[in-house]
Structure 1
Amino acid sequence: MKIVAKTALASVVALALAGCGGAEVKTQVDLETDSHRHAYALGTVLGDEVKSNLEHLASTGITLDNQVVLAALADALNGETQLSEDQVQEAVMELVELSTSLAEAESALAGQRNLEEGLAYQRENAAREGVVVTESGLQYEILVAGEGASPVAEDTVTVHYEGKLIDDTVFDSSYERGEPIAFPLNRVIVGWSEGVQLMNVGSKYRFVIPAELAYGEQQRPGSPIPPNATLIFEVELLEIEAAE
């Protein structure tokens, strides 16, 4: 969560500037001198950072009064703030806690929706011809049968793959990167480890991996995979490097 990651000082700056992005103010300035260009560049960097914070706050349901924010900014630049340093810090922490609480509540609701939609997708997929459901709940379908060896959990495998959400959003693909990837099977999510061990070299499988065999209910920072997401992978097993 961006605002939580800020230092106290950065949070104060972000709070003071947050309303600028929405203010209907546009001033033409002379950018002919180096000093003015440097000042404008600094303002642009701050403005972009504040815009990001403002958008985050808005996504959690928090709106700030632009006029109050602009007044506070002017006061701060003139050294005439109406709140003490302690009061500013207290208000910023309240804002951080509120935004965190609202974001967590929204994440929980989204996770529940994802779980229910994923279960419905799994039921539908399990009814398709050729789909096998293992005891753990992993679903697989053989797209191309291979005749090579099968790996064990300690082996390192080389694969090509594409990962998607149930709405067909591709979140990862070795095909798009143009090269396969190698990894130990005991270092990946449970669904991957179990599924790839079912394969033979030269085969291509389609896996539907329930959330509990993937990343569960946690939202990983920066990840395109939402909480409680059911994942779909098409995997080609190219090579096995046996564990020593």
Structure 2
Amino acid sequence: MTSMDLSQYITISGALGAEPQISAPKGNPPAELVFQDLAEGDGTAALSSSTLTVHYKLLTWSDGKIADSSWTSGNPATFPLANVVKGWQEGLPGMKVGGRRLLIVPPSLGYGSADYGPIKGNETLVFVVDLIDVK
């Protein structure tokens, strides 16, 4: 996992805590898991063993479409970090409550070669995650 400036690929706008606006990705996606802290939190840091409460937005790289968003339902998601895609398991530990992180997740750490709802197999995933709580 690499931390880097991802503005060459994608642009995120919107205030922390509000639903982010995500531009369509440009060029070829990174081959590995990469992340950028868009806002650093100052609360408790997530651990691989933590249960997290987050707001998130998911965009698919190939077509730039929104595939899922907790902001749409108005309800944040709560889950044990061990129960989600490997890209989150590897990309969210160390993130602090109150932060916003952009993750670009390769297919091998996302849903792999299988279709998953509206997400086609071998899709690179773009997540913007606001960390609300860690337990």
Q: TM-score range by the shorter chain?
A: 0.7 to 0.9
The residue number in structure 2 matching 1:84 is none
Unaligned runs of 5+ in 1: 1-118, 124-136
1:154 paired with 2:62, answer: no
Q: 1:212 aligns with which of 84, 108, 128?
A: 108
Q: 1:198 aligns with which of 81, 94, 100?
A: 94
Matches within 5 A, 1:111-126: 120-122=28-30
- TM-score for both structures, normalised by structure 1: 0.43
TM-aligned CA deviation for residue 194 of structure 1: 1.2
Higher helix share: 1
Higher strand share: 2
SS at structure 2 position matched to 1:120: coil
Matches within 5 A, 1:59-208: 120-122=28-30, 137-166=32-61, 167-208=63-104
The residue number in structure 2 matching 1:232 is 126
CA distance in 2, matches of 1:216, 1:198: 25
- TM-score for both structures, normalised by structure 2: 0.76
Higher radius of gyration, 1 or 2 = 1
The residue number in structure 1 matching 2:19 is none
| Greater relative CO, 1 or 2 (CA 8 Å, sep 6+) | 2
TM-aligned CA deviation for residue 193 of structure 1: 1.2
* CA RMSD across the alignment: 1.7
CA distance in 1, matches of 2:46, 2:107: 24
CA distance in 1, matches of 2:102, 2:64: 13
CA distance in 1, matches of 2:59, 2:94: 20
Amino acid paired to 1:240: V
CA distance in 1, matches of 2:100, 2:38: 5
- Alignment length (residue pairs): 109
Aligned structure 1 segments of 4 or more residues deviating by more than 4 angstroms: none
TM-aligned CA deviation for residue 173 of structure 1: 0.2
